[in-house]
Amino acid sequence: MPTASNEDFLVKFHKILPSARPPRRCHRAVGGTLPARAAQYCEPICAASSFGWHLFPPVDFSLMWDGTDTLWKLDTSDTWYNLNSVQLPEAYSTFNAACPPHIVNHIPPLIAACDEPGIINVWSGLFARTKKNWSLLVRSPANMPRSEGFENYEGLIETDRWFGPLFTNIRLTKTDVPINFRSDKPFIQVQPIYRDHYKDSLLSNFAYVDDVAMLEDSDWLDYERTIISPGIDEEREPAFYAKNVRRRKREMEN
């Protein structure tokens, strides 16, 4: 059967590990974890929360770090093992049955310890490819309560050119306690970024006004329209900014 071209989609996710979960479009209220007032009135928080897709660990597992070495175990086991590089046994048979003969057994690890103590590579079990000139920003889920046991490093991957595992590097921040990863809780958020939008020439093009007296008349008029005119305190219309942003979105989509 014919398959859709990569250019028909902004991003195409490929399931590689049998236990990998599908990506999920991020939710404005972060699955109901945002305070109700923020979910209803704070459009900047909601927009950032919904920007991209959530990815999940393929299985439930735990890590434990002593400051130097890292141990790991599946949640179906009571035995801890030293972490070097780990892949699920059943992943090899599925991968090897589909790949060309010269790529047999060359499946990325599920979890792997990096050379630096406490830095761990964790794979979602997915590959991804984006449209030409689009990249994916890989980061921790926006506005979601985070584990105290680890932090995500952020990375920009040119996924239109680089076809491979969607993973994150994490830094373990607690020692001698289990750090749990659940397959039903997202641990990565990936966001599409047009490559030109993070070019040095564009990001270096900025200005700085270091004195409030240098604001121009048009600046004061915009400030008045944004902050003063909608009303002060009790007089201010609830969700004024959010309503205007949502109206503009509807107009752009129509």
pLDDT tens-digit map of 179-228: 999 999 999 999 999 999 999 999 999 999 999 999 999 999 999 988 88
Is residue 169 a contact partner of residue 188, using CB atoms and an 8 Å limit?
Answer: no
Is residue 137 a contact partner of residue 190, using CB atoms and an 8 Å limit?
Answer: yes
Q: Which CATH topology does 6-201 take?
A: Deoxyuridine 5'-Triphosphate Nucleotidohydrolase; Chain A (2.70.40)
pLDDT value at residue 225: 86
Q: Which tens digit of pLDDT belongs to each residue from 37-80?
A: 888 888 899 999 999 999 999 999 999 999 999 999 999 899 99
Is the model's pLDDT at 232 over the cut of 70? no
Query: Start-end ranges of CATH 2.70.40.10 in the chain?
Result: 6-201
Which position has the higher pLDDT, 3 or 214? Answer: 214
Is the model's pLDDT at 2 over the cut of 60? no
Which position has the higher pLDDT, 11 or 32? Answer: 11
Is residue 57 a contact partner of residue 184, using CB atoms and an 8 Å limit?
Answer: no
Closest-CA residue to 22 (of 183, 155, 144, 135): 183
Q: Which tens digit of pLDDT belongs to each residue from 71-128?
A: 999 998 999 999 999 999 899 999 999 999 999 999 999 999 999 999 999 999 999 9
Distance CA 83, CA 17 (A): 20
Distance CA 27, CA 209 (A): 36
Is residue 218 a contact partner of residue 82, using CB atoms and an 8 Å limit?
Answer: no
Residue 156 sits at the vertex; the CA angle it makes with 154 and 161, to the nearest 5 degrees, is 150
Residue by residue, DSSP assigns 164-226 as SEEEEEEEE---SS-EEE-TTS--EEEEEEEGGGG-HHHHT-------GGG--HHHHHHHIII
Q: What is the pTM of this model?
A: 0.87
pLDDT value at residue 1: 42
Q: Which tens digit of pLDDT belongs to each residue from 149-187?
A: 999 999 999 999 999 999 999 999 999 999 999 999 999
pLDDT value at residue 251: 72
pLDDT value at residue 228: 84
Distance CA 61, CA 41 (A): 37
pLDDT value at residue 104: 97
Instruction: In the chain, count H helices and then E strands.
Output: 6, 15
pLDDT value at residue 96: 97
Is residue 187 a contact partner of residue 151, using CB atoms and an 8 Å limit?
Answer: no
Which position has the higher pLDDT, 214 or 240? Answer: 214
**What single-letter DSSP state applies at residue 41?**
H
Q: Which tens digit of pLDDT belongs to each residue from 17-41?
A: 999 999 999 999 998 888 888 888 8
